Structure 1
Amino acid sequence: MSEYDNVRIGKLVLKGEKHKSKKRKHKDKSHDKEKKSKTNVDEDALRNGGWWKVTTTTEVIGSVAIQFGERTYIKALDNGLFTLGSPHDIGEGPAPEEILTAFSINEKKVSFKSGYGKYLKVEKDGMVTGRSEAVGSMEQWEPIFEDGKMALLSEIGTFMAIDPEDDACVALQKKVGPNEIAVIRSCAVRELKEKDDEPVEEKGDLQQVEKNFVKKFQKFQDKKMLINKEDVKELERAKEEGYLHEKLLDRRSKMKADRYCK
């Protein structure tokens, strides 16, 4: 086992900072009906071994890889420097030496720790090194997103890039050019948002649904909401047979206070 694999990734070293535990979000399960989920296939992630492209700073957390070029990532060396790794085949993710751990500093800035347990820093000469034990201002990076592209801004106002002459990781230029365009990839599990095609008025049980439709269409008289008092079982039957809207219209028409009913 290499020295790199023996390094245990720890927590972000920041004085005065307290680690906040993540709260798990529990989704409510509806017993009335099953929602149909649509799975969106990320073809770009599949081509990169399941590592997907981040698009916001809040996504830059946990295990990440910084990509320059086509399926090539910056690689940590045991001397504290970084170079561009070898190109990967389609469907292959980054190598262990190319995986970093990202930590959030604030809503704009992040820090990166290599597998050797050191933080990425921009030196005064523009070299990017991984030799810091803790995070100071020089170990902070700001992902800049614009027009679907991303560049990493250092504390000294220069952008991370790969030197085309020796493939070293540097931060020399104050303007973004082709060499400064990067991609941060993450392997974190994403919560895919299901497209909810159900109208707002049809959310809830049938009693609530009828109330929602009344509130939407009925002209209130004396600020009173007039709701049909008949059994809602006929609504259940109408829903199963596919004529719920017609039945709701019929029930509202009996109240004689609707804009679209007699």
Structure 2
Amino acid sequence: MSYKHVKGGKLKLKGEADVKKKKSRKRKSTEAQPVYGVDSTDVRHGCWCKVNAYEGIQEHGVLELHSGGYMQAEDTGKFTVAEVDEGNGPEPPQIFTLVKVSDSKIAIKSGFGRYISCSTSGELVGRSEAIGPREVWEIVFENDKMALCGCNHRFVTVSSDKKVMATSETAKENEMVKIRCTHMPSKRRKSEGDEAITDLKSFELNAVKKFQSFQQRLKVCKEDRRVLDKAKEDGSLNEALLDRREKMKADRYCK
């Protein structure tokens, strides 16, 4: 037998435990950063939570500037800084519609139905009726902080006379902005009743019986019942049943 075919290694004695070496690996964190930051300041803002990631941006939100106040739209198309009404949340002129344009950019529409852009001097104005290159804003997240960059490659800040401008070349402390939205995106929780429902056909028939007892022959909506499956998952089964009954025009309680 040739020695080159002999397996090399440490000499093992009879009765010696076979100990395997464990490779030390750094444990990688698989937990994603939460899209909302919930803290004690949320009560001060009427439970409008700070957005920590682009995924957390909802359809409506407020912009909290470094001074601690909200950006507020004026009927002139310009913007100022308004004080926070503690515990009551923002006023209507301080709530904006946030439209996602790409993975890191949004368009912002004021309550007057105009999109925000920046003028040649860097001042924010809300007079555009449609979204163009000048109405697109880039959101920059870093170290749990956020800044807003305009089409002129300048960051949003507040001037000495409380005007909202996009004039800063760098994002320092005075350029930090917070977007606050009302709630975290999530599906509605299923009720105990929805969990117990297994046969949607029988459930819908029983619901119809309660309100069509005055008729000799029951009438049930013939549309695809898969809509009810989705409504059950979303927690809106009862609302979906009402919609189907209303389409039949046979239920006096749904007219």
Q: TM-score range by the shorter chain?
A: 0.5 to 0.7
Q: Structure 2 unaligned runs (5+)?
A: 1-36, 188-255
Instruction: Tell me the TM-score normalised to structure 2 length.
Output: 0.56
* Residue 172 of structure 1 pairs with residue 172 of structure 2: no
* Residue 120 of structure 1 pairs with residue 120 of structure 2: no
Aligned to 1:59: 56
Q: Pick from 164, 178, 181 the counterpart of residue 186 of structure 1.
A: 181
Query: Post-superposition shift, 1:125?
Result: 1.1
CA contact under 8 A between 2:48 and 2:181: conserved in structure 1? yes
Q: Secondary structure at the match of 1:45?
A: helix
Q: Secondary structure at the match of 2:126?
A: strand
Aligned to 2:44: 47
Give the whole-Å Cα distance in 2 for the aligned partners of 1:74 and 1:58: 22
Give the whole-Å Cα distance in 2 for the aligned partners of 1:70 and 1:161: 10
Query: Post-superposition shift, 1:52?
Result: 0.3
Letter in 2 for 1:84: V
Query: Post-superposition shift, 1:177?
Result: 1.8
Give the whole-Å Cα distance in 1 for the aligned partners of 2:54 and 2:113: 22
Letter in 1 for 2:50: K
Aligned to 1:105: 101
CA gap 1:101/1:41 in 2 versus in 1, 3 angstroms: closer
Query: Post-superposition shift, 1:143?
Result: 0.9
CA contact under 8 A between 1:62 and 1:188: conserved in structure 2? no
CA gap 1:81/1:128 in 2 versus in 1, 3 angstroms: same
Equivalent residues in 2 for 1:209-224 (5 A)?
Answer: none
Letter in 1 for 2:140: I
Equivalent residues in 2 for 1:137-176 (5 A)?
Answer: 137-163=133-159, 165-176=160-171
CA gap 1:56/1:189 in 2 versus in 1, 3 angstroms: closer
CA contact under 8 A between 1:160 and 1:169: conserved in structure 2? yes
Give the whole-Å Cα distance in 2 for the aligned partners of 1:64 and 1:173: 23
Query: Post-superposition shift, 1:41?
Result: 6.7
Give the whole-Å Cα distance in 1 for the aligned partners of 2:181 and 2:99: 13
Letter in 2 for 1:173: S
Letter in 2 for 1:65: V
Instruction: Tell me the TM-score normalised to structure 1 length.
Output: 0.55
Give the whole-Å Cα distance in 1 for the aligned partners of 2:95 and 2:109: 9
Letter in 1 for 2:93: E
Query: Post-superposition shift, 1:178?
Result: 2.0
CA contact under 8 A between 2:66 and 2:175: conserved in structure 1? no
Give the whole-Å Cα distance in 1 for the aligned partners of 2:180 and 2:140: 15
Q: Structure 1 unaligned runs (5+)?
A: 1-39, 193-262
Letter in 2 for 1:72: G
Q: Pick from 131, 134, 155 the counterpart of residue 130 of structure 2.
A: 134
Q: Pick from 78, 82, 85 the counterpart of residue 85 of structure 1.
A: 82
Give the whole-Å Cα distance in 1 for the aligned partners of 2:130 and 2:163: 23
Give the whole-Å Cα distance in 2 for the aligned partners of 1:178 and 1:41: 21
Letter in 1 for 2:55: T
Letter in 1 for 2:102: N
Aligned to 2:250: none
CA contact under 8 A between 1:48 and 1:71: conserved in structure 2? no
Paired positions, count? 153
CA gap 1:144/1:117 in 2 versus in 1, 3 angstroms: same
Give the whole-Å Cα distance in 1 for the aligned partners of 2:110 and 2:53: 21
CA gap 1:148/1:41 in 2 versus in 1, 3 angstroms: closer
CA gap 1:41/1:145 in 2 versus in 1, 3 angstroms: closer
**Percent identity over paired residues:** 32
